């Protein structure tokens, strides 16, 4: 089905909610249900393509090209016998592992949370602009310089010291893009770091490739006909074509938080000169481990410095662990949302939970504008750092709101791109940095004071914030001056 038609089919739920602000988290995805009649088989690098043969009553539906990592194949097997056939394949010579292919599904809340809020005229300038110098002084995007005003004439994002987590920090004249200031992105910009020359893969539902705030910052593939890295701006692993256009809105929102251009309109991203590699691994009705594993590998093979993953689920799979080890070894840092399951037994999320075992994998929890953990944000020792994820304004596809393609969303899905943007700034500050050093930089430069933490990280008290809220200004300084 046409991706545009899938996108428009969700507009009824979106428009029905217009005029109010979202209070339901957008998680991006969850998983746990296997795809009937499908398994994933990983062949060793030494096995020739001619040796990839199906067993018994099975059929190879798709397979990646052979390289130094090996070959990943999607195999059709009799329904109800997925585990049995996975075991049979795993016992074959030249097979590294085999497992069921699991679904990664969008949650029903995602469509309903692309909600537009009426934009009321606010005040430009103010305390947060008075000290602006360098690049930040030149940024005039309306939502960056303007403050919101509610029906009562109040700024809904302003807070007294008593309302904040640390009990001493007050916030006045807060902007629509309060989160950009909270992660101290302007400080990094004014130090000379805007993400220029850095590629960020967004593995999601796709990207609105024609959005005015994103178009100029799309990654341009130097060899779009390559068999390893096909596509001009990325690739669609759901429909298996070179058009990674957005089918739901989630990926466009994530992309704007990372790298919306500073162009005197709309919003601006944490890394406003980084490039977005659009990788569609989730469709309107979800995706699978096979689709997403291929997207994770594409990011590493095709030059992404960082890959944002605002999705996850409850199933730990060998394919995800394998490709993440491969990608981080090649130099790609993977950022994952921690999940929105705190109210549902606080289940750990995968692949985010690989942050405890794979250097270069970062799991992100979500905070509100009072610097407290938002109630839905999953917690635990796998949460590396936190970032603003409650009431985040960013880009949405033009089809969903042609005249004003911006909306508020909240969730750990919105927190992860704030961290991915900071990681992009770190890569510009120190281009030869390793994913493990990126993690070191992110954690030791994070602000644990404004979250009121007793320890850094705060794992002994539940892991609500990890090492604290990311700080872009401190991170680029650490990368430049403290790493050897």
Q: How far is CA 98 from CA 30, 62, 419, in A?
A: 21, 14, 33
Tell me what pLDDT residue 314 has: 81
Can you list the residues of the chain whose pLDDT is less than 70? Answer: 1-32, 48-51, 106-133
Q: Which of 353, 297, 356 is nearest to 322 (CA)?
A: 297
Q: List the beta strands (DSSP E) in 399-456.
A: 406-409
pLDDT at 127: 37
Report pLDDT for 147. 93
pLDDT at 385: 98
- Write down the pLDDT at residue 118: 45
Q: What Cα–Cα distance (Å) separates residue 392 from each residue in 78, 233, 431?
A: 45, 25, 29
- What pLDDT does 129 receive? 43
Model pLDDT, residue 151: 83
Annotate 465-478 with three-state secondary structure. CCCCECCHHHHHHH
Whole-structure pTM value: 0.92
Residue 436: both structure tokens together = 């493990």
Specify the pLDDT at position 26. 59
Q: Write down the number of H helices and E strands in the chain.
A: 15, 14
The pLDDT value recorded for residue 352 is 96
Fold (topology level) of 34-103: Alpha-Beta Plaits (3.30.70)
Residue 293 half-sphere exposure, CB side, CA atoms within 13 Å? 28
pLDDT for res 357: 97
Query: pLDDT per residue over 50-102, tens digit each?
Result: 667 788 899 999 999 888 999 999 999 999 999 999 999 999 989 999 999 99
CA distances to 160, 371, 372, 451 from 163, rounded to whole Å, are: 5, 9, 10, 12
Q: What is the pLDDT of residue 4?
A: 54
**C-beta separation of 366 from 410 below 8 A:** yes
Q: What pLDDT score does 462 carry? A: 94
The pLDDT assigned to 32 comes to 63
Q: Tell me the catalytic residues.
A: 204, 250, 413
Burial class of residue 455 in the structure, from the number of CB atoms within 10 Å of its CB (0-12 exposed, 13-18 middle, 19+ buried)? exposed
Q: What residue segments make up the domains of the chain, in order of their start?
A: 34-103, 181-481
Give 25-76 as a DSSP string.
-----EEEEEEEEEEEEEE-TTS-GGG----SS-EEEEEPPPBTTBEEEEEE
CATH superfamily assigned to domain 181-481? Peptidase S8/S53 domain (3.40.50.200)
Phi, psi of 61 (to 5 degrees): -85, -35
């Amino acid at each position: 089905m046409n991706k545009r038609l899938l996108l428009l089919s969700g507009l009824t739920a979106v428009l029905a909610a217009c005029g109010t602000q979202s209070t339901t988290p957008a998680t991006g995805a969850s998983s746990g249900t296997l795809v009937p009649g499908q398994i994933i088989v990983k062949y060793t690098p030494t096995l020739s393509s001619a040796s990839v043969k199906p067993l018994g009553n099975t059929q190879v539906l798709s397979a990646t090209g052979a390289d130094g990592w090996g070959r990943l194949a999607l195999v059709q097997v009799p329904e109800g016998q997925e585990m049995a056939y996975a075991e049979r394949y795993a016992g074959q010579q030249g097979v590294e592992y085999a497992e069921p292919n699991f679904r990664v599904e969008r949650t029903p809340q995602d469509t309903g949370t692309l909600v537009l809020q009426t934009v009321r005229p606010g005040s430009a300038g103010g305390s947060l602009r008075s000290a602006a110098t360098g690049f930040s002084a030149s940024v005039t995007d309306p939502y960056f310089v303007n403050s919101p005003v509610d029906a009562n004439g109040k700024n809904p994002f302003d807070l007294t010291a008593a309302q904040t987590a640390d009990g001493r920090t007050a916030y006045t004249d807060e902007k629509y893009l309060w989160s950009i200031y909270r992660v101290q992105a302007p400080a990094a910009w004014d130090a000379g770091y805007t993400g220029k020359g850095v590629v960020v893969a967004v593995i999601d539902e796709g990207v609105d490739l024609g959005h005015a705030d994103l178009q100029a910052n799309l990654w341009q593939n130097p060899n779009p006909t390559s068999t390893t890295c096909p596509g001009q701006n990325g690739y669609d692993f759901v429909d298996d074509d070179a058009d990674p256009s957005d089918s739901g809105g989630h990926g466009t929102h994530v992309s704007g938080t990372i790298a919306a251009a500073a162009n005197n309109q709309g919003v601006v991203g944490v890394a406003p000169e980084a490039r977005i590699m659009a990788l569609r691994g989730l469709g309107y009705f979800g995706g699978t481990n096979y689709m997403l594993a291929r997207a994770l590998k594409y990011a590493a093979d095709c030059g992404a410095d960082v890959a944002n993953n605002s999705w996850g689920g409850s199933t730990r799979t060998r394919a995800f662990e394998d490709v993440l080890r491969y990608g981080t070894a090649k130099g790609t840092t993977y950022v994952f949302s921690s999940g929105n399951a705190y109210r549902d037994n606080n289940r750990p999320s995968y692949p985010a939970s690989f942050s405890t075992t794979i250097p270069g994998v970062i799991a992100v929890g979500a905070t509100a504008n009072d610097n407290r953990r938002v109630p839905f944000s999953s917690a635990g020792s796998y949460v590396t750092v936190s970032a603003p994820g409650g009431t985040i304004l960013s880009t949405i596809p033009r089809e969903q709101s042609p005249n004003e393609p911006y909306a508020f969303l909240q969730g750990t899905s919105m927190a992860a791109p704030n961290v991915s943007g900071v990681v992009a700034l770190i890569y510009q500050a120190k281009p030869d940095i390793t994913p493990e050093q990126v993690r070191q930089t992110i954690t030791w430069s994070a602000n644990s004071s404004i979250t009121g933490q007793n320890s850094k990280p705060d794992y002994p008290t539940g892991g609500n914030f990890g090492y604290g809220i990311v700080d872009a200004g401190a991170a680029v300084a650490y990368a430049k001056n403290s790493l050897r």
